Structure 1
Amino acid sequence: MRGVLDRDAADMRKPGAKKMHTRGLWSAGPNEGWCVDSYGKILLCMGIAVWGIIDKYAREELNLWAVPDACTADVPPALYLLMVRAKKGMPMQTTSNMGSETGGLAVAQTSLRQIYLPDLPLDSLPVHRSVKSVYNITRERGWRPIWEKELANVKYAYETGKISAGFHPEDPIHQGVSLWLWAKIIQLHLDDIRRENSRHRVRFQRNKLLPTGGTHGEFYKHPERWGE
């Protein structure tokens, strides 16, 4: 359960922790790079994790999924391929946190790029980057507002409500119904988060290399408006 036990990510989110320098983040445009990772802050108590894909250029949440265990090897490549099918295209590069469960995703990304983008040089633009969580900056920065605005309240409602509801965690029927119901509830919240993220306006920042002064959705759909 790397999403819960990832010490680098946990340390980075502590109050007063030294932040990674992000001013130099740059991307050529939408879908050049997708940053992916899992979030496991509700996994231990609810048995549900979140896995997400965010576009590096636009900081647009492309999708967020509620899943039983994001560290299962089949989950990242399956969700990645669902996103490729939905977008009818693939990124030039993917970035994930280090972890054995991302191997299948890297294989899928490599295979697709070899087929559809064979002329892109591997030395200047690697197919996949597997990095420490503190360097998967675009994805890691997206988790904090998701937790503070939505998931913290969901976790509180779950923990307080299961007592009054007479929930028995050892009962397999209770377990199954709880997972089925709360996964749907969390997914509804994640869908709302994704829509809100697309409408979120980023204040203008002259020294930033990525686009500012518009919404994430505008950056993603109309990058020509923020060209040099």
Structure 2
Amino acid sequence: MPSAPASVSKKLATQAKLAAQAKTEARASKAARKADKKTFAANGAKYAAAYAAEEAAAVKGRRDAKAAGGFYVPAEPKVLLVVRIRGTIGVDPKAKKIMRLFRLLRIHNATFVRNNEATKRMLRLVEPYVTYGNPSLKSIRQLIYKRGFGKVNKQRTPISENQVIQDGLGSSNVRCADDLINEIYTVGPEFKEANNFLWPFALSSPKGGFSAKTKLLHYLEGGEAGARGEEINKLIQKML
């Protein structure tokens, strides 16, 4: 039989080489995913243990304070959730600038911010247009799982798998959903990067809606605007 032309033999050899390389890469990728799965599970268990220990310490603190006839003052939460509740008509230019800084560009947008003195001063200036409070771990988890979108190559991408987090952050410490939730909840060293990766949450109008009469009033006056502490979690449930 006549031998195959040199060009055909070369092409077949190249194809075989590429197929072998693809097979090797697929095996390596599968092994990496398997290792990542174990790491992510271990991280989740570690965070759960830390949350449980924190809750146990708080319970013990309340019991000890009650036994001593005193009061237990819990540590101030490190993160706040800010929700925009009013539109742009009649908004003060300074308030507009602050809301752009908080990335609250549309009504019912929500974002996380650090709970510090500088943030509090800015929030006081936009209180008529927003409501904010201390989100629980459960609320943070629900927001990320149910309404979470990440910024990947400047595109709004749903966080449907851990790979989206890895592609968007490229961080060695924040690589899965549990890592991301923990970084936001504890305001970790990579909070800024993790928070910027998260697209502003697009929430729904709350069940029953906001009353036109109460929307303009402060929460302490029976309205909707301003600080509402842990009560923000009830509002989140209505807007998910």
Q: Could you state the TM-score of these two structures normalised by the residue count of structure 2? A: 0.25
Q: Which has the higher contact order (CA 8 A, sep 6+)?
A: 1
Between structures 1 and 2, the one with greater helix share: 2
Which of the pair has more CA radius of gyration?
2
